[in-house]
Structure 1
Amino acid sequence: MSTRTITLCYRKIMDANASRPWEKMVFDDTYTEFRMQAQLFNQEQKYRSFGELLHYAPGANQLHFLVSAAVRGYVQQLNGLVPDVLDNLGRHFLKFSQFQFEIINSDLFDKARHQVAINFYSDPLVWHDTIGTQLLVSEAAGAGGEMLTNQLALPPFLSIYSLQTRD
């Protein structure tokens, strides 16, 4: 029987409607950092939006990376567990070791237009089966071949990022 290994990607979007404290802090700090870093590409103050900076200011694509420094400490607070994704027992279980920060939209003069995303990439999982609308996955074989499993539905913004099949 072949083994299917998957990596999941969860995209967490934060905007002015952020309601949880962690989300609000990420939103606020990334907006502050965006405004500060954007000065490098907007010294003549000709541009207002992130889109204008990307279109007209050479090198402005670096803003994703430059602003990501503001989220690193917040991501560490998650202790390697993807936020919001729960198994069918209501527990956080999905581990990650990689993430990617992205500015979706922003405006230097209107904080309400600021929107960012963090894409969390799970550690590899063995995909055993699909039961109804839920995936049955495990981290790896334990002692004696026993595998502790988790069952989860794919909520919005969670998808299978990669699939590898081994015979």
Structure 2
Amino acid sequence: MSRLITLCYRKVIDAGSAHPWDKLVFEDTYQEFRMQAQYFNQEKKYRTFGQLLQHAPGAEQLHFLVSAAVRGYLQQLNGLVPDILDNLGRHFLRFSKFQFEIINSDVLDKSRHQVAVNFYSEPLRWHDTVGSYLLVSDAQASGPELLTNMFQLQPYLIIHSLQTAD
């Protein structure tokens, strides 16, 4: 029986994020949030993203509107999910789609800005589990010998979908 999996890695970015890529995403998404939030807050009644969601019709569109600030940075990743390394310390996990989400923000307090980028991997063939490690290969690969990657499950990384075939 063959098992194909899609992984999802949730990368949370906030004021304490240390990597240069994260800092750029943080800064640009905060500026974009402040700019886009003006449309839903013309009377300047609300400060936080939560207040906008609760009181301003259509404010749920902010996730999509602010995601424009992230798209260019995603191209810099060359299709590889950040932070997820195999046991040899290499980036190997390719993503095919992403979802941007504003977790929290405040138009007057940048330190409260927090966003997430959910990366969805390309399908992988799941061969085995060894302790907390998964042994996978490219779902498209075939032949008598397959190149594999072994990596450890970690926080914010899940098996998003599972497909079995005989």
TM-score range, shorter chain: over 0.9
Q: Tell me what 1:67 maps to.
A: 66
* Match of residue 82 from structure 2: 83
The SS at the match of 1:69 is helix
1:132 Cα offset (Å)? 1.6
Instruction: Give aligned-pair identity as a percent.
Output: 72
Pairing 1:7-156 to 2, within 5 Å after superposition? 7-140=6-139, 142=141, 144-156=143-155
Are 2:4 and 2:139, in contact at CA under 8 Å, matched by a contact in 1? no
Could you give the per-residue CA deviations for residues 139-165 of structure 1, whole angstroms, max 9, x where no partner exists? Answer: 036463321100011111101000000
**2: CA distance, partners of 1:16 / 1:91:** 27
SS in 2 for 1:145: coil
Letter in 2 for 1:134: Y
CA contact 1:135–1:151 (8 Å) conserved in 2? yes
- Structure 2 unaligned blocks of 5 or more: none
TM-aligned CA distance change 1:41 to 1:128, over 3 Å: same
Q: Contact 1:140–1:147 at 8 Å: present in 2 too?
A: no
Is 1:13–1:116's contact at 8 Å kept on the other side of the alignment?
yes
Question: CA–CA distance in 2 between the matches of 1:108 and 1:151?
Answer: 43
RMSD: 0.9
Query: What SS is found at the alignment partner of 1:144?
Result: coil
Provide the rounded CA distance (Å) in 2 between the counterparts of 1:123 and 1:129: 18
Residues 89-128 of structure 1 deviation map (CA, whole Å, 9 limit, x = unaligned): 1110000010000000000000000000000000000000
Runs of 4+ in 1 over 4 A off after TM superposition: none
Q: Work out whether residues 48 and 108 of structure 1, in 8 Å CA contact, stay in contact via their aligned partners in 2.
A: yes
Task: Tell me the SS of whatever aligns to 2:15.
Answer: coil
Q: Distance in 2 between matches of 1:140 and 1:69?
A: 30
Count how many residue pairs are aligned between Structure 1 and Structure 2. 166
**TM-score, normalising length from structure 1?**
0.97
Q: Secondary structure at the match of 2:92?
A: coil
